[in-house]
Amino acid sequence: MLGAGTRTGSSPRVRSDDHRGDVMTAIDQDERYTIISADCHAGGSHAAYREYLDPEFLEDFDAWRNRYKNPYKDLGDNRRLRNWDNEMRNSQQEADGVVGEVVFPNTVPPFFPSFVLFAKPPTAEEYRHRRAGVLAHNRWLVDWCGEFPERRAGVGQIFLNDVDDAIADVQWIKEHGLRGGILLPNIAPDVKWVKPLYDPVYDPLWEVCQDLDVPVNVHSGTGNPDYGPYPTSMLLYINEVVFYSQRPFVQLMLSGVFERFPRLKLVMTEAGCSWVPPMLEQLDAVLAGIRDSGATGEIRFGNDQVLARSATEYFRQNVWMGVSNPRPADVAARHAIGLDRFMWGSDYPHDEGSHPYTREHLRARFSDVEPTELRKLLSENAADLYGFDLEALAPLASRVGPTVAEVDTPIQDVPEKHLERLSDDMDSTALT
């Protein structure tokens, strides 16, 4: 059934500005979009994770679990089931018209101090247990994604404390079919016990990710410094989270990683994309000045520090954007960043995401986008990067996907979510 307010009728409509090559194309208004969310989250319960732990950690896990106090309401009430319950999750995704998902972590793995994206990299004392926790998550994720392999591309977790361990974990993730690649731990500037991303010690890791064609994902929420136990800490975090989400691209690009590893795939997710064009413009100017004169201002650079290409060229060579619940400015920037690099995401099951109003969100943001273009943004780019089989998804999409007519019908505003759904979920002290 089409959404409220949609056009009815099955006759194709020709849009005068829609072309494939030089041939005018008739658009079937009843055709349904295949939608893949490039940003979803899931995780196991502590009871489930226990089954995937190495036996030597079970006693320590039981002691840790008895001490753990959950600060996140959505991981304590029935909504937590969305992280792993197939019936609840699939039905909610289908109601939204979503048939595929790239799955980032969401729950708290064994031995973690907090939610995955808020947690700092482990110290030397924490590393052994925390790594055991992410290995348990990765094993759980393989099985969970395997229940619906055509619909789910899981993102495995690694740490950077030990490069050899990280490489071994990447190889395991690849061998076990987690098509989402890896979640790169973004290193905050106050983390001194793990080397920064621009250190050449990681070159063997980048080489393995390139050679195995493993996407390297950076997710918003990581990389911020410790703001301390202040009332304004969360406000600072929210205000600066996009800035710190940008740093991996800047650090890898300026340190020559994309020059040395031109086939490395970096994905920046849930940080919007409207900031990309002005940032690239600034970086291009700096790099051009250094390339032309060997200096910027009074600072001199050696020939080995001069990059061969512009920041824009490296971006188009190496970077994809997972644009979650995009704002109008993000949609407007799609051509500047490249139509083949923009991947829509819902951020399911997070409250700030588009669920349960994904259909309305699509109408509000994309009603003026041509279907041939929109298919790239909603599914084709993600399918190409993460290895989704669009033919395998087609039967489900033909049943639950929104129609061209539905998305083509504009609305001004997405409905407000119920306040009781949002209340008391995660208060402003969550970082402290």
pLDDT, one tens digit per residue, over 283-304 is 999 999 999 888 888 889 888 8
Q: What confidence category does residue 431 fall into, taking pLDDT thresholds of 50, 70 and 90?
A: low
User: Mean of the pLDDT values across residues 160-177?
Assistant: 98
Residue 358 pLDDT > 70: yes
Burial per residue of 327-363, b for 16 or more beta-carbon CB atoms within 10 angstroms, e otherwise: eeebbebbebbbbebbbbbbbbbbeebbbebbbbbbb
Q: Which amino acid, 146? A: G
Residue 430, in any domain of the structure: no
Report percent pLDDT > 90 for the chain: 78
What pLDDT score does 304 carry?
A: 84
- Taking each helix axis from N to C end, the angle separating 276-293 and 233-254, rounded to the nearest 10 degrees, works out to 40
**Averaged pLDDT for residues 46-53:** 96
Q: Is residue 307 part of a domain?
A: no
CATH number of 87's domain: 3.20.20.140
Query: Of all residues in the chain, what percent carry a pLDDT higher than 70?
Result: 89
The answer to whether residue 17 is domain-embedded is no
In a domain, 358, yes or no: yes
- Mean pLDDT check: name the lowest of 64-73, 192-201, 288-297: 64-73
pLDDT band of 310, cuts 50, 70, 90: very high
Tell me, yes or no, whether 218 lies in a domain: yes
Average pLDDT value for residue range 306-316: 96
301 in a domain, yes or no?
no
Average pLDDT of the segment spanning 169-190: 97
Residue tagged 């002005």 (tokens): 278
286-315 as b/e: b if 16+ CB within 10 A: ebeebeeeeeeeeeeeeeeeebebbbbbbb
The pLDDT of 373-392, averaged and rounded, is: 98
- Does residue 10 register a pLDDT over 80? no
Distance, CA of 140 to CA of 53 (rounded, Å): 10
Dist. CA 47–CA 61, nearest whole Å: 10
Tokens 């136990």, residue located: 229
What angle (nearest 5°) sits at the alpha carbon of residue 52, between those of residues 50 and 53? Answer: 70
Rounded to an integer, what distance in angstroms lies between the CA atom of residue 393 and that of residue 100? 8
pLDDT band at 421 (very low <50, low <70, confident <90, very high): very low
CA–CA separation, 345 vs 414, rounded Å?
16
Nearest of 301, 295, 389 to residue 99 by alpha carbon: 389
Q: What is the per-residue pLDDT for 246? A: 95
Q: What is the mean pLDDT of the chain?
A: 90
pLDDT in tens, 211-241: 999 999 999 999 999 999 999 999 999 999 9
Q: Is residue 255 part of a domain?
A: no
Predicted confidence band at 68 (pLDDT cuts at 50, 70, 90)? confident
Section 170-184 average pLDDT: 98
- Burial class of 240 by CB neighbour count within 10 A (0 to 12, 13 to 18, 19+): middle
Please tell me the predicted confidence (pLDDT) of residue 12: 38
pLDDT tens, residue by residue, 93-151: 999 999 999 999 999 999 998 888 888 999 999 999 999 999 999 999 999 999 999 99
pLDDT at 9 over 70: no
**Does some domain include residue 215?**
yes
Domain that holds residue 164: 31-187+200-246+343-422
User: Of the ranges 25-34, 265-274, 388-397, which one carries the lowest mean pLDDT score?
Assistant: 25-34
Q: What is the pLDDT of residue 427?
A: 53
Domain total for the chain? 1
